[in-house]
Structure 1
Amino acid sequence: MRAAILPAAARPAAVLAVLLALSGCGGAEPAPAGAPEAPASAGAGTEAGTEVGTDVANPDAPELLRFTAATTAGERFDASELAGRDAVLWFWAPWCTQCQFEAEHFAAAQAAHADDVAFAGVAGLAPVADMEGFVEQGGVGAFPHLVDADGSLWQRFGVTAQPAHAFIDDSGEVEIVRGLLGAKQLEEKIAELVAK
């Protein structure tokens, strides 16, 4: 049997999809069949892909935040608007049991810190309908969740497995925390973030 050779341009995305599928939830739970083949659209005809570049509200934002993406609600999210604010990005997949466990903590943290910290989820490795179901069942609909169907946002932040978290302070400094966060750990990280 002959192995298929991918074009050079397709290799990074393919490698990321394999890594994410193999390492999801710390390797405790395999990705469901077909998960990396997430659909390319979200909501009512909204493109799910990430757009990187200058078509953002704040072109002076740090490079890492100069992108837009569709949300699970079919709206456009402009990450450049996070510049100058404390923010938390939560990288999750709907079939990940650790992510399901964290949902309650993120809902509570967002409610407690809505005035001083911006929250956004970054969903990957599943169809958009599954992402929408996770948001509803997890009670995390009070903040936006970005559809990362092609894995470009996870890759942008160096995330290869879920759950993972990006704590971004108002100066643009980013700390990536990988793995499960309990309620106490999440509160401690948010306190550190706000104190900077």
Structure 2
Amino acid sequence: MRARTVLPVVVAALLALAGCGAESGSDEGAAGVLPAGSASPARPPASADASSDGAAEVAVAQALRFTATTVDGKPFQADVLAGKPTVLWFWAPWCPKCKAQAAETAKVAADYAGEANVVGVAGLGRNEAMKNFVADTGTGGFPQLSDEKGELWKRFEVTEQSRYVILDKNGKTVYEGVLPGGDGLAEKVDGLTG
């Protein structure tokens, strides 16, 4: 019940803070960097222009123009998700509903590897608790982002834990809501990949 009373206060504070900064639409100041072996975080997002080797790059939707850090402290840039359906799983480390979704979410991530992306977005807790949740639930097989400040939660307008935001291959939100125990997640992803 603590989340129901604390969450509105946290969301209101985040919205108030968002109004204090410039509305540039950039992600400057986000805690993001890139996976090992990638270009610098300052690189422009991929576009439909041809790359230097002649292959066309996938256009990056606005929804995937952010950087973050994983719960293990590794850099992450969301533009690597472009061109495939993406499941964003918003969870909190103390949430029993999130723990109940973990096994199905990990199964979908494994079953659809290469066809769709699954990314956990942990919030409403401290990073150490997030790391413990990932270890305890066996969800380390796909990226788990640490969003202690709630920046991604605010970006995707998530106001409670245990939510899925599913984007199609073009970055358009096609589903946002709760799937108890992760039931129905595989069918939603299958519909986007098949």
Do these two structures clear the TM 0.5 threshold for a shared fold by scoring above it?
yes
**Residues 69-148 of structure 1 aligned to structure 2 (within 5 Å):** 69-148=68-147
The aligned amino acid for 1:148 is D
Change (3 A) 1:117 1:181: farther
Change (3 A) 1:139 1:56: farther
The Cα shift of 1:49 comes to: 3.4
Please say if 1:164 is aligned against 2:163.
yes
Q: 2:189 aligns to what?
A: 190
Inter-partner Cα distance in structure 1 for 2:150 and 2:175 = 17
Q: 2:42 aligns to what?
A: 55
The Cα shift of 1:74 comes to: 0.9
Change (3 A) 1:48 1:70: farther
Inter-partner Cα distance in structure 1 for 2:82 and 2:133 = 28
What SS does the corresponding residue of 2:93 show, helix, strand or coil? Answer: coil
The percentage of aligned residue pairs carrying the same residue is 38
**Residues 32-71 of structure 1 aligned to structure 2 (within 5 Å):** 49=31, 55-56=42-43, 58-60=45-47, 61-71=60-70
Count residues in correspondence. Answer: 154
Query: Structure 1 or 2: larger strand share?
Result: 1
Give the root-mean-square deviation of aligned CA atoms: 2.5
TM-score (norm 2): 0.71
Q: Deviations over 1:150-190 (max 9, x none)?
A: 11101101100011111111122112422233344111111
The Cα shift of 1:109 comes to: 1.0
Contact map agreement 1:99 1:163 (CA 8 A) in 2: yes
The Cα shift of 1:59 comes to: 4.4
Q: More displaced, 152-161 or 164-173?
A: 164-173
The aligned amino acid for 2:83 is G
What SS does the corresponding residue of 1:170 show, helix, strand or coil? Answer: coil
Inter-partner Cα distance in structure 1 for 2:44 and 2:141 = 22
Change (3 A) 1:81 1:135: same
Q: 2:50 aligns to what?
A: none
Contact map agreement 2:68 2:77 (CA 8 A) in 1: yes
Q: Which runs of 5+ in 2 are unaligned?
A: 1-6, 14-28, 34-40, 48-59
Contact map agreement 2:102 2:182 (CA 8 A) in 1: no
Inter-partner Cα distance in structure 1 for 2:187 and 2:12 = 29
Contact map agreement 1:122 1:148 (CA 8 A) in 2: yes
Name the structure, 1 or 2, with higher relative contact order (CA <8 Å, separation 6+). Answer: 1
Q: Deviations over 1:2-47 (max 9, x none)?
A: xxxxxxxxxxxx9661569xxxxxxxxxxxxxxxxxxxxxxxxxx9
Change (3 A) 1:56 1:103: farther
What SS does the corresponding residue of 2:190 show, helix, strand or coil? Answer: helix
Q: 1:152 aligns to what?
A: 151
Q: Which runs of 5+ in 1 are unaligned?
A: 1-13, 21-46
